[in-house]
Chain A
Amino acid sequence: MTPGRLAALALLAALAAAPFVPMAGMRQYVLHVTIQIFIWSFIGGAWSLMGRFGLVSLGHGAFLGLGAYAATLLWNFYGLTPWVGGLVAVALTVGFALVVAYPCSRFRILGHYFALVTLAVGEVVRLLIIAERDWTGGSLGLTLRPARTDASLLAIQYADKRVFYYASLVVWLLGLWVWTLLDRSMARAAMEAIGEDETAAASVGIHVTRFKLGITALSAALTALGGVLYAQYFTYVNPDTLAGIGVSLRIVFAVVLGGMYSLLGPTVGTALTIALSEYLRVIFGVKFIGMAETIYGLLLVLFIIFLPSGIYGSARGLLRRRRTLEASATA
């Protein structure tokens, strides 16, 4: 067994046991922060499936918001269990993503233009949620109708945070698994070729539109799933935190900070940003509102200038270079 695999198993065991470690009253807080890290890492990972191939979307908030709102509205108005409602939400989001992605691919909207079109899509979803305030609650948001009991499997509502801890851990692992599957598949080579040069990729027989639509559908589906999980855990949805330019940029930044070309990059980036904002919030309290985000924004700019492949990506690159140097020294 390689040391890397051993470390991964040890980490997994630690994560599985974490909720039962005595933490002297801090348990709820620690669990709450960890659940958020899992959910946002998963969403960041879903974004990076597209981002790593040059499809930089600034509108993933659209998929996140659609997923969260569809499941929530189906439960609130029709009492449809989120097990089914979540599936409907994911299917709906994939349909929506395809409607946007098909013309983008057909008319070759790339680079800056792709970023701006997706940004507009994200804003359209946010504004529609606000405009339809009669049943979405507008910018005040919407609270999930509470289930009758403290622990309801049908409604996926649990007062015990440990349930959501394990649920989000599983979903996070699912995201990593999908990433690895894609990374080892032929689709990755095809998508990399498309990201480099579409015309060249098409000329060697790669079906450009099919691959682009496929990766967009996958990314949108996972993002919507993240949205459903978010809604179930927080039992509250809000257009500004789940759709539009703000949340879309947050997702992108966390991933870029960690590194979008590596498996654990999105997780490292998300964990760091959430840990940083929690730390600053604890230090400064509510006295200096905005201080945490100010430092966060400054770090982002510095990172993009000095460490463009992200923290995790750069650290791994450094480690690899050292290893090859040692190998060549001994040889």
Chain B
Amino acid sequence: MIDPIFLAEAAINGLLLGGVLALLALGLNLIFGVIDIVWIAYVDLVMLAMYAVYFLVMVYGWPIWLAGLAAIGVGALLGIGVHVLIISPILGSAPVNQLLATGGLLFFLQSFATFLWTTDHRSVRLALPVLEVAGIFVSFARLIAFVIAILAMIGLYLFLTRTYIGTAIRAVAQDREAMALMGADPRRVYLVTSAVGGAMAGLAAALLSIQYSVHPYFGAAFGPITFMICVLGGLGNMVGAFVASFIMSEIISIGGVTWSTEMGYVIAFALFIVMMFVRPGGILTKRE
């Protein structure tokens, strides 16, 4: 039997990880909802932004918060770059080709990172304390990441509901054709969406880099779980993705402590497969 303290600790860690995963899932989901393309290489953009944080802090001596802000900028630029260079030429192609084009990008980014920076694991060394509450240890870095992620999601919500361009983005997600008829420029909406999605990847990168070390295969480690959260929540459904993030992160965290890290992921993926059969439109929709 596992000590309940360990389980409580795992549950709290799962909750904290869920915040950052939700940020990633919302970024990917925003892009999917608006542009209708799954960026398979989304978490590889996170990986690039994590390298940016690492080099800015460890080589150029920037403070971490400034490097984090820079990472958001890097992410937004990467998002725009991916959209302009890869997505816009294939907007009209078969969905399979769109999926594969961003898959090719994944391969390219992964190997290019290996080529430039080798497969070494690099981490930003920060001396952040570990909090102890009633025998449960909580990493301060994770707590900060969680709080910032939640604040960022509130910011995204306000952006989408209170600004003109945000409203336009939601309108395109609802009806692509009608939006063009109303006189809004879909190209501009796509570009802004890609930039916002990229910026969220950049912020996630900053939050992940204070907890994990970065390596070229970081995207492969966090990518599959991110898509699955999006699909589990219902592609394009923001609230669903938010809820699904916490379900998945708790399974991974508690499963990891109870059996092994791999088994935690196996259970999460298996749940995803079963849920696809039972609730294909996402956990929050009713079956037709």
Contact = CB atoms under 8 A, between A and B. Distances in A.
B107 A296 contact: yes
A290 B115 contact: yes
B181 to A, nearest CB: 26
A301 B112 contact: no
Contacts of A308: 93-94, 97
How big is chain B's contact interface, by range?
A: 35 or more
A276 interface: no
Contacts of A117: 272-273, 276
Interface stretch (B2-10, B121-129, B136-144, B262-270): B262-270
Contact of A294 (B86, B96, B115, B263): B115
Contacts of A100: 273
A249 B103 contact: yes
B235 interface: yes
Contacts of B114: 289-290, 293
Interface residues of A, number: 46
Contacts, number: 137
Contact of B262 (A119, A128, A294, A304): A128
Contacts of B118: 289
A109 B279 CA distance: 11
B228 interface: yes
Given A115-B99, A297-B112, A121 B104 contact: no
Nearest to A115: B99
Interface string A291-317: 111101110110111001000000000
Contacts of A130: 262
A249 B115 CA distance: 20
Given A56-B96, A107-B280, A297-B105, A245 B90 contact: no
A116 interface: yes
B265 A294 contact: no
Contacts of B224: 119-120, 123, 245
For B97, B100, B113, B265, the residue with the greatest tally of chain A CB atoms inside 10 Å of its CB is B100
Interface in B146-181: none
Contacts of A292: 111
B46 to A, nearest CB: 16
B266 A131 contact: yes
A131 B277 contact: no
B191 interface: no
Contacts of A289: 114-115, 118-119
A278 B234 CA distance: 42
B97 A304 contact: yes
Contacts of B51: none
Interface of B: 38, 86, 89-90, 93-97, 99-101, 103-116, 118-119, 216, 220, 223-224, 227-228, 231, 235, 259-260, 262-263, 265-266, 269-270, 272-273, 276-277, 280
**The 3 residue pairs across chains A and B that have the minimum distance between CB atoms:** A297-B108, A293-B111, A290-B114
9 contacts: A108-B280, A120-B272, A249-B107, A253-B107, A290-B111, A292-B111, A297-B104, A305-B89, A308-B93
Interface of A: 54, 56, 100, 103-104, 106-109, 111-113, 115-117, 119-121, 123-124, 127-128, 130-131, 245-246, 249, 252-253, 256, 288-294, 296-298, 300-301, 303-305, 308
